[in-house]
Each structure stands twice: as C-alpha cells, then as structure tokens.
Structure 1
Amino acid sequence: MQQHEITEVLERPYSRELLARDILRMAYVAPDGTPRTIPIAFTWTGSQVVVCTTKNSPKLASLRRNPAVALTIDTEVHPPKILLVRGTVELDVVDGIPEEYLRMNGTYDMSEEQRVAWEAEVRSLYDGMVRVVVTPTWAKLIDFETTLPSAVEELMAQRAARREA
C-alpha cells in the first residue's frame, strides 16, 4: 500500500473519530511463535500511533524480535466502525513518564483529586517507560456504509453477477 493511500484512509472522518478513542487492540507475535492481542491505551500523533509500556514489559522482547504489529480500533455499536492498521514498531526508551502516557490516560473520568493521586502513583512507580511508536504501512476502514470487509464485497459481487445472468 502506498503512503498516500494510507494517509487517505487515516484522514477519513470515521478514521479520525476512531483514532481519537482511548483503547486499541495490538497484535504481535510472542517469543513462542503464537499470536498475542492486548488492549492498550494509545494516542495518535497525526502520522503515528504511540503506546507506552513499562521497561520490563514482556511484549518488548517480542517487538524487538519482530517489529510487525496489527492494530484494531473499533466501536461497540451497530453497525460497527472498524479501523485496521498494520505497521512497524520503533521502541523509544525514555526517562520519566512520556507526555503521551499522561495524555492517553487523561480521558478517563477522574476527579481532579483522583487525577493528582493517579499521576503521583505513576511517577513514583516508573523511573522510565518505553514509547512504542507504530508507523502505519497499511490501513483499512470498514464502516459498513461506504466500505465493507473484502469477503463481503466479494459475495456481493458474486450475487450481482448471478442476478445479471
């Protein structure tokens, strides 16, 4: 997929709505060769997805070994809106707490007092974190209005061909 095609998908209104959500699911290959999918908070920079994790997270060994990931961001309503992204990961070890981590966890409903306590706990627990930066190499939006899963599109084309025959 060409970069301009990826950009076109990611700039669609539904894609922008999905990229403003709190949680995505990230799939990667674990050290034993089996797939893993985890829910994780994220932020969208306008060109990359950033998730943050602890420096001792088990997923880091997997991502160092194989930096390919697949992301899913979707809704819980009918018809669902689904953004699928494939990409490659760069790991950026940072001292302290990345601003993205504070921002991506800032949308939860917390009182000001709870927020202060949460941030103090985070700062006392982590001396640093790893920014997992995903650069999209492929993207597809499925909105069930203008785009469908490819298998459904194929079935619809077959049905239309039968009706024309």
Structure 2
Amino acid sequence: MEPADVTEVLDRPLSRELLARDLTRLAYVATDGTPRNVPIGFSWNGTELVMCTAPNAPKLAALRTNPAVALTIDTEVHPPAILLIRGRAELDHVDAIPDEFLEANTTYTMTPEQRVEWEAGVRALYTDGMVRVVVTPTWAKLIDFETTLPSAVEELVRRQQERQQG
C-alpha cells in the first residue's frame, strides 16, 4: 500500500473518530513464535500511534525480535466500525512518563481530584520510566459495513452479484 493510500484511509472522518479512542488491540508474534493480541492505550499524533508500556513488559523482547505489528481499533455497536492498521514498532525508552501515556488516558471519566491521584500513582509506579512503542502505519483499512466490507465479504457479494446476473 502506498503512503498516500494509507493517509487517505486514516484521514477519513470515521478513521479520525476511531483514532481518538483510548484503546487499540496490538497483535504481534511472541518470542516463542505464538501470536499475541493485547489491549493497550494509545494516542495518535497525526502520523504515528504511540503506546506506552513498562520497561519490563514481555512484549518488548518480542518486538525487538520481530517489530511487525497489526492494530485494531473498533467500536462496540452494530454495525461495528473497524480500523485495521499494520506497521513496524519502534521502541524508545524514556526516563519519565511520556506525555502520550497521559494523553491516552484523558477520555476516561475521572474527577479532577481522581486525575491528580491517578497521575501521582503512575509517577510512583513507573520510577524506571516507560517505553514508547511507536508505529507508523504502512497499511490501513477502514470497515464500516455500509461503504466498506471485509475483503472476504466483498468477494462473496461480488460472486452473488455475478450469479444473479448470469
């Protein structure tokens, strides 16, 4: 997929809505060769998805070995809206709490007092800093089940139309 095609998908209004959500599902291959899929908070800066994790997270060893990842951001309504993204993870250890980690948690319902308490807890927990997992999308697909479908369903619809015409 060409970069301009990726940008076009990610710039659609529904994609922008999905990119403003708090959670994505990060899929990668673990060091034992088996697949993993974990929910993780993220923020979108306009060109990259940034996820933050503990420096001792098992996924980091796997991402160092094989940085290929797939991400899913979706809704819980019918029909669902689904944004699928592929890319490569770049790891960046920081000695503090990355702004993206704090930004990724801004839509949770918290009173100002709860937010202050939460941030204090985060800063006390991550004394060794965090690792930023940065993914620049190299492929993207938006599925809304109205204007776009999963490729297998698109194929079935095409076959059905051919049968009806023939």
State the TM-score, normalizing by the size of structure 1.
0.98
Report the equivalent of 1:10.
10
Report the equivalent of 2:160.
159
Counterpart Cα distance in 2 of 1:103 and 1:81 = 23
State whether structure 2 residue 155 is matched by structure 1 residue 143.
no
Across the two proteins, how many residue pairs are aligned to each other?
A: 165
How high is the sequence identity, in percent, across the aligned residues? 68
Counterpart Cα distance in 1 of 2:96 and 2:117 = 17
Report the equivalent of 2:109.
109
User: How far is the alpha carbon of 1:107 from its aligned partner?
Assistant: 1.5
Report the equivalent of 2:26.
26
For 1:72, give the aligned amino acid. T
Counterpart Cα distance in 2 of 1:7 and 1:77 = 25
User: How far is the alpha carbon of 1:120 from its aligned partner?
Assistant: 0.7
SS in 2 for 1:105: coil
State whether structure 2 residue 49 is matched by structure 1 residue 49.
yes
Mean CA deviation greater in 28-37 or 103-112: 103-112
User: How far is the alpha carbon of 1:139 from its aligned partner?
Assistant: 0.4
User: How far is the alpha carbon of 1:103 from its aligned partner?
Assistant: 1.0
Report the equivalent of 1:94.
94
User: How far is the alpha carbon of 1:157 from its aligned partner?
Assistant: 0.7
Q: Which structure 1 residue ranges, 5 or more long, are not aligned?
A: none
Counterpart Cα distance in 1 of 2:118 and 2:78 = 34
Q: Which structure 2 residue ranges, 5 or more long, are not aligned?
A: none
SS in 1 for 2:133: strand
Mean CA deviation greater in 44-53 or 105-114: 105-114
Counterpart Cα distance in 2 of 1:39 and 1:23 = 6
Q: How does 1:54-69 map to 2 (within 5 A)?
A: 54-69=54-69
Counterpart Cα distance in 1 of 2:122 and 2:160 = 55
Runs of 4+ in 1 over 6 A off after TM superposition: none
State the TM-score, normalizing by the size of structure 2.
0.98
Query: Per-residue displacement from partner, 1:13-42 (whole Å, max 9, x unpaired)?
Result: 110110000111000000110000000100
